[in-house]
Structure 1
């Protein structure tokens, strides 16, 4: 019997997600591709591994048995990778990272250029995801590491199988149409009567801003709900409302937008999340060091660990 690690990872994801569509989305494949690979896995094993119950999929007893062994096999593959990296005098490895727009534009160019100059054997590939999705992708093994966010008043639920290393601390600013706010600093409450452009409450950013406004004594009037800071600022530039933007997000600011400091800062920490089993990977630690150095150059340096 020849068991494919690739197909075992799909089986594990099917068990976790409950549907082929959800498993495919988590692994960034089409549902038909995952179905074909799982069907081939059943042929490899010579037994039925799952059965459909309406829209969901339930593993058979043999499927559950194989999934339990898949966890061990995939863990052993990761440990073997680590052992090989530690045994090599020069680090040569490819890592895949989960990012979002402001990290990709504000931190990564400097960090990856520095890494390429000092450690040319390390190749980092990126995949853009919503900040809320990146940690799950690391846990599931489809990413080697990802960037994650923690807001001062809205801590992120954490998976005990993951660790995180803080790389930057950002503050949020008010982004307003040019010449509409006459001062260089305001309280959030002074912005209460403005129309807002804000991410949905499903996002960490959207929840954090709403909580900050509520603690300042008001509910923001949200006229436009958009997820990307760059989109929100484009709408601010058109005079459609105000939003909040992070330090790294300032690199995406279009003309026609003024940046106003909040007198009571709203802060967030950017961290790198990775599986506990990968903590000793030399390449990963070198990437974290490069990203921290890039953040420090921007004045956004962070302490090295995040509690929790």
Structure 2
């Protein structure tokens, strides 16, 4: 019997998520692809591993037994990877990172260019996810590391199995149509009567901005609820409302938008999250150093790790 690590990961996700659709979403595959691979795993094993109960899937006793061993096997693979990296003189590794738009455009190009010049054996692949989803993907083993954010008024719940290193501290600025705010600074309360363009309340950014507005005594009048910062800024440029944008988000700025400093800054911290077991991984540490250097070059550097 030959067991595929790829299929064992799918089995583990099925056990964690309860449905093929949820497992597929966490792994960034189609539900059909996951179903086919799980069916192949059953053929490899020669036994029934799960059964459907309505929309959910329940593992059989043999499925649970294999899942327990899958956790051990996948953990051993991660430890073996670490041992091999530590034993090599020149670091060679392939890492997968969870990113979102402003990090991908504002930090990664310079960081990965510098990393490739000094350590060509390290390859970093990226997957764009919502910021609130990246830490969970790292915890579940679907990513090697991810970028996560905490807002001054709305810190993100933290999983104790993950470590994080602060790499940047950003300010949020008001993004308004050209000429709408004549002065160089503006208070959030002065934007209370303007229409807003903002991500939904379930998103970390959307919730953080709503809390900041509430702290200043008003509920933003949201005319356009959009998830992508680039889309929100394009709508601001068209004169449809105002929004907030971070330092890194300024790389997405279209024509027709003025950036105005807030008199009472709203801050956010950008960190890299990784599993505790990967702390000694040389390739990961080199990536973290490259990203922190890129943030420092932009004036956004931070040096204190968060335990």
Tell me the TM-score normalised to structure 2 length.
0.98
Residue in structure 1 matched with residue 32 of structure 2 by the alignment:
32
Instruction: Establish whether residue 16 from structure 1 lines up as the match of residue 16 from structure 2.
Output: yes
Question: What's the CA shift for 1:306?
Answer: 2.4
Q: Which residue of 2 aligns with 1:240?
A: 240
Counterpart of 2:262? 262
Deviation at 1:291, TM superposition (A): 0.3
Aligned runs of 1:138-217 on 2, under 5 Å?
Answer: 138-217=138-217
Q: Unaligned stretches of 5+ in structure 2?
A: none
The CA RMSD over aligned residues, in Å, is 0.9
| Local SS of the residue matching 1:255 | coil
State the alpha-carbon separation in 1 of the partners of residues 28 and 187 from structure 2. Answer: 42
Structure 1 residues 48-57 or 25-34, which shifts more? 25-34
Residue 273 of structure 2 aligns to a residue in which SS? strand
Distance 1:140 1:148 in 2: 15
Instruction: For 2:204 and 2:33, locate their aligned partners in 1 and report how far apart those are by CA, in whole Å.
Output: 32
Describe the SS at the equivalent of 1:147.
strand
How far, CA to CA, are the matches of 1:46 and 1:161 in structure 2? 35
- Counterpart check, 1:41 vs 2:9: no
- In structure 1, distance between residues paired with 2:15 and 2:23: 8
Structure 1 unaligned runs (5+)? none
- Quick one: distance in 2 between partners of 1:243 and 1:257? 10
Distance 2:40 2:129 in 1: 29
* 1:81 paired residue number: 81
Give CA deviations for 1:140-177 in whole Å, capped at 9, x if unaligned. 22211111111111111111221111110111000000
Distance 2:82 2:128 in 1: 25
**Which piece of structure 1 moves more, 4-13 or 298-307?**
298-307
For 2:181, what is the secondary structure of its paired residue?
coil
Q: How many pairs are equivalent?
A: 307
Deviation at 1:304, TM superposition (A): 3.0
Give me the TM-score of the superposition, normalised by structure 1. 0.98
